[in-house]
Amino acid sequence: MVSAAVVRGTALAALVSLLAAPAHAVSAESGATKVATRADALPAPDIAGVWDVLRTVRKRGAPGAIARIDDGAKTHWAALGVADRRTKRAISNADRFRIGSVTKIFSAVVLLQLADERKLDLDAPVNRYLPGLLPDNRITVRHVLSHRSGLYDYTNDMFARTVPGFEAVRAKVFTYRQLVNRSLSRPRTTKPGGAYSYSNTNFVVAGMLIEKLTGRSVRTEYRERIIEPLHLRDTFYVHPRTKIPGRHARGYLTPDTAGAALVDATEQTVSWAQSAGAVISTTKDLNTFLSALLGGRLTSRAQLAQMQRWVPAGGTQSYGLGLRRRELSCGVSVYGHTGAVQGYYTYAFASKDGRRSLAALANASNNGTVLNSMGGALESAFCGKKAKPRHRSEHVEKQRAEGA
């Protein structure tokens, strides 16, 4: 087997067809069909540019990297490097992996569906549903889902030292309340409804809300509300089990000490994250999920609009309810989330209408240059060949905490 295997998944004929296709788009506007001009349509994706990003990611320390673009009826995919450093098996878009904080979108969707069912009021205090959990009755469900609760992120302390922190929790099983209590032992970061301050604690609370309001596990709610309806055959929530089922990419954690050997972090409970970051998926399933969400197939139009009430989140980013918006160099905005969990970095974003989506993975983490480099795939996928990347490093959150 070849350690730096390269696999191409876009036929030349398909690429030529894509580049030659007319730039038409349909939008719901007074019940009529709108034909967009070429200036309004997304540029054709730069497939060669995506490949260049994967090569850069490999050079900067990731054993392997994959990407998949779904663009209407067309699919483009790329894979470079290995899924397993020991066997040298080539990585593939068929491989499952841990998606980290992309899980937060799953949790938000379930809660928005519950709002649609009138079982949840986004502006009600969390303590209405979970009496006595939080020390401040002013903290609402909306504050939690938009990272404006002020609840301290317990992972800051948990992973202050990357490898020792991980090894201390790799096999542990936490209750939600234990994780929340870790947060509450530290001062809050802002008043309720204040500025955005990213915290995994918020989505641990989201998991508690899901289970309290439904009387069922997060696993069951993900499965019955999202995974099964969308036929996501490679998406799982296996907590507290430690193994990724089926074919998967192994994940490698970069130690804090420069030059130290990568640590295989594949097997872990991810109990430190749970509803904030423990879902397993593939690039295909993530694209299907985001396209369905942004296409209005998972919530009502009203709840999707709530999800996209944005607050500033640093640099060119803003945050809604479990959903990020990133503005690219060409002026296009994309919607989704990044994910960091020990051994894996994920990017999963789609266009506003969900018709074009990109999911990308590097099987390495705690490596800021890898994470920053992966952002270039968004430029190539949504801005095309004329993209002019910003000449600065994008703002990256929580590189050490491995939970963003």
101: annotated active-site residue: yes
Tokens 């879902």 — which residue? 279
263 phi and psi angles, rounded to 5 deg:
-105, 125
pTM: 0.88
How many helices (H) does the chain have, and how many strands (E)?
14, 14
Q: What CATH class does 47-383 carry? A: alpha beta
How is residue 138 annotated by DSSP? T
pLDDT in tens, the chain (404 residues): 333 343 334 432 333 333 333 332 222 222 333 333 333 589 999 999 999 999 999 999 999 999 999 999 999 999 999 999 999 999 999 999 999 999 999 999 999 999 999 999 999 999 999 999 999 999 999 999 999 999 999 999 999 999 999 999 999 999 999 999 999 999 999 999 999 999 999 999 999 999 999 999 999 999 999 999 999 999 999 999 999 999 999 999 999 999 999 999 999 999 999 999 999 999 999 999 999 999 999 999 999 999 999 999 999 999 999 999 999 999 999 999 999 999 999 999 999 999 999 999 999 999 999 999 999 999 999 999 864 454 444 434 444 444 55
- Cβ of 219: how many Cβ atoms within 10 Å? 18
Give the residues across from 68 on adjacent strands: 77, 359
Residue with tokens 């900067």: 60
Q: Which of 17, 27, 30, 101 is catalytic?
A: 101
* Separation of alpha carbons 63 and 4, rounded Å: 8
Burial class from Cβ neighbours inside 10 Å (0-12, 13-18, 19+) for residue 48 reads exposed
Delimit the domains of the chain by residue range: 47-383
